[in-house]
Amino acid sequence: MATCGAKSEVLDEKDDPGAAPYGNFINYYTFNPPENRLSLIPTTLIQDLGYGIDSSETILMLDVGCNSGDLTVALYRHLQPRVLSEDSTTPPDSDLQLLGFDLDETLILRAQQTNPFPQNISFIPLDITEDAASQTQLQDYLRQHGGFRFHLSLCLAVTMWVHLNHGDAALLGLLSRLASVSQHLLLEAQPWKCYRSAARRLRKLGRSDFDHFKELKIRGDVAEQASEHLEKHCGMALMQCFGSTSWDRRLLLFRRRETIDLHLSQ
């Protein structure tokens, strides 16, 4: 995951998004800490979505592009306020199982080594653009935990990097893939100004431009076009916008339409 804007201009080369063209750069959470998003997400989100009422229910969550896992762990604590620390003896409010993945094996190793909740949080290296392999790994995880889909998937500041490196079709494919394995999807798509900023930094470092940048037809309000794809082609419906982060990116919550129909019929 990565950012754009004036704040990131102060980063040195090793931390700059331009120096990590897949967004998998180190120290990401030093300038975009988990609180920037968690402050917008209610601690009651799981219950608000209708989950966790039965204490025996296992809630499955997915964090796409988890980097070093800081946000993944913070989210686990955030959604289960009774989990105060890694040595807390207070049981969690529900059985929440959280899977985080990233294409960078070094970042995943760091996440695994610093994971305070290994019984509930798993980190694996995975490239979501590798269709067959990624689908197999995600389905294996779901089967291991007795699930058919993740109750909630998070795709935060990932779309731009897939889009820039693999093109329009890959962006839409990512959205379709996540919709197929998710009951709910929390999406944060970078705006077009971030694309220009990332491309400019890459050129500034003397590197080749992103392969697909000049060919992209999905431009402008990327979040709006992503929402349109999810609603028109993936059976999802926009439930709520939790507002915008300090980086001026909206947090959009989608739900499978069949889930909506089920709740309305009850």
Task: Please give the average per-residue pLDDT across 72-86, as a whole number.
Answer: 80
Whether pLDDT at 106 is above 80: yes
Q: Which CATH class is domain 6-265?
A: alpha beta
- Best CA proximity match to 203, nearest among 213, 188, 193: 213
Residue 11: band (very low, low, confident or very high) from pLDDT cuts 50, 70, 90:
very low
Measure Cα distances from 41 to 12, 60, 124, 175 in Å: 31, 17, 25, 21
Name the residue among 161, 206, 192, 186 with its Cα closest to residue 250: 186
Query: What mean pLDDT value characterizes the chain?
Result: 86
Task: pLDDT band for 82, please (50, 70, 90 cuts).
Answer: low
- Asked if pLDDT for residue 98 goes beyond 50, the answer is yes
pTM, two decimal places: 0.87
Dump pLDDT digits (tens) for 166-202. 999 999 999 999 999 999 999 999 999 999 999 888 8
pLDDT at 19 over 90: no
